[in-house]
């Protein structure tokens, strides 16, 4: 009996039955696979697979560094980079969990470290970008986006006010502009200011810094200078802006302090400039304003480094220890009384206080602060 012949894929195949079956299997598998690949994926199975992969990644134990400095660096990185490279939905969810106050006009959130308020060059994720998502999480899919009422620096943490309506946002912005909002910040400083309480009233101006890295910084533009022991008035630049900061030491050691700051004005980087260039007590982790001439990691005394568990070569990992602790808003809209908003300190801030031996103040109802050791918490 003659061997059967078949035409497959444009050429003639001759041979016995078993040979044909093997060749058919060989040529048909890719065709079947491509057909299967062209079918739509099962969304539920794909989602389950992705969730399983994420669980595996979380359960994978990374080797624990044996070097104490490496452990400290890893701790700082974990504290400060949690929300800087995440999906917008994840950031919005985190903000919703940290809501400090919510009513029909306002939503007050705790701003996390390292997340900018507005977008710009090199910014992958910012708070303004996730406000539509946050609004939908709070009020459903038909909710209109929330509106920013003010801003905080990227590295600053703490109280941040949002509004449901643009008109309310404008009203709150006007309260900030006319200095009707009481703002209180907490900062850890390198060195202790003298005197322990006072007012820094020195105008601020932006200048270009000449050097290996040309850059711009805010700096002081004082109205007076000392000349042979006498105070002489100086002609200030028209671009200088009035800047006033009240400060008070809440707790201190030989080489560091916890300060409460109350900015009367709202100039860019005002607190950092007044502390660093006015009081010679830069904020811990301020790698921009600790040295006027260069942009470099903050240089710290040996005793401070020892307490923090770091070497000088690793100080670039220290975050800015500046926290918007409290806002007091005057009556607005349906509210007939002032609104006091207080935000807890971030974990890295609390850990640094403990390492430096600084006490955590008790804020009494009469407005006074009484420091107590962190171990008592």
Task: Tell me the catalytic residues.
Answer: 153
Planar angle of CA 53, 56, 57, nearest 5 degrees: 90
Tokens of 27: 């040529």
SS3 assignment, position 81: coil
DSSP one-letter string for 227-287: ETTEEEE-PPPTT-B--EEEEEEEEE-SSEEEEEEEESS--TTHHHHIIIIISS-PBTT-T
Per the CB < 8 A criterion, the answer to whether 110 and 160 are in contact is: yes
The C-alpha atoms of residue 357 and residue 318 are separated, in whole angstroms, by 17
- 282 within 8 A of 320, measured Cβ to Cβ: no
For 262, other C-beta atoms within 10 Å of its C-beta total 16
For residues 204 and 241, give the distance between their C-alpha atoms in angstroms, rounded to a whole number.
5
User: Which residues share a beta bridge with 33?
Assistant: none
> Which two three-digit tokens encode residue 197?
């309480």
Q: Which residues contact 217 (CB under 8 A, 6 or more apart)?
A: 206, 207, 209, 288, 289, 292
CA distance 327 to 334: 19
213 backbone dihedrals φ, ψ, rounded to 5°: -120, 105
- The tally of CA atoms less than 13 A away on the side-chain side of residue 325 is 19
- Euclidean distance between CA atoms 345 and 132, whole angstroms: 26
């Amino acid at each position: 009996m003659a061997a059967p012949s078949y035409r497959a894929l444009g050429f003639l195949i001759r041979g016995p039955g078993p040979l044909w079956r093997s060749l058919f299997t060989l040529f048909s598998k890719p065709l079947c696979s491509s057909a299967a690949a062209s079918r739509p994926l099962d969304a539920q199975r794909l989602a389950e697979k992705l969730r399983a992969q994420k669980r595996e990644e979380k359960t994978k134990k990374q080797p624990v560094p044996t070097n104490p400095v490496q452990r400290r660096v890893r701790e700082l990185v974990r504290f400060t980079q949690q929300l800087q490279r995440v999906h917008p939905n994840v950031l919005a969810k985190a903000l919703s969990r940290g809501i400090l106050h919510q009513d029909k006009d306002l939503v007050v959130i705790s701003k996390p470290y390292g997340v900018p308020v507005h977008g710009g060059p090199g910014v992958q994720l910012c708070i303004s970008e996730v406000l539509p998502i946050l609004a939908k999480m709070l009020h459903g899919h038909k909710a209109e986006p929330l509106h920013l009422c003010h801003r905080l620096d990227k590295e600053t943490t703490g109280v941040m006010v949002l509004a449901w309506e643009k008109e309310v946002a404008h009203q709150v912005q006007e309260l900030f502009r006319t200095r009707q909002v009481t703002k209180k910040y907490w900062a850890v400083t390198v060195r202790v200011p003298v005197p322990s309480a006072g007012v820094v009233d020195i105008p601020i101006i932006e200048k270009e810094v000449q050097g290996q890295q040309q850059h711009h910084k805010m700096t002081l533009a004082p109205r007076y200078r000392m000349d042979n022991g006498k105070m002489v008035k100086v002609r200030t630049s028209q671009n200088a802006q009035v800047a006033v900061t009240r400060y008070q030491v809440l707790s201190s050691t030989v080489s560091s302090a916890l300060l409460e700051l109350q900015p009367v004005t709202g100039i860019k980087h005002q607190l950092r400039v007044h502390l660093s260039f006015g009081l010679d007590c830069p904020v811990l982790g301020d790698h921009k304003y600790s040295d006027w001439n260069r942009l470099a990691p903050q240089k710290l005394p040996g005793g401070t480094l020892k307490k923090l568990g770091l070497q000088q070569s690793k100080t670039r990992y220290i975050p800015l220890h500046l926290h918007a602790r409290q806002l007091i808003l005057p009556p607005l809209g349906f509210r007939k009384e002032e609104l006091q908003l207080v935000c807890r300190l971030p974990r890295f801030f609390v850990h640094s206080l403990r390492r430096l031996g600084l006490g955590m103040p008790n804020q009494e109802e009469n407005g006074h602060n009484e420091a107590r050791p962190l171990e008592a918490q």
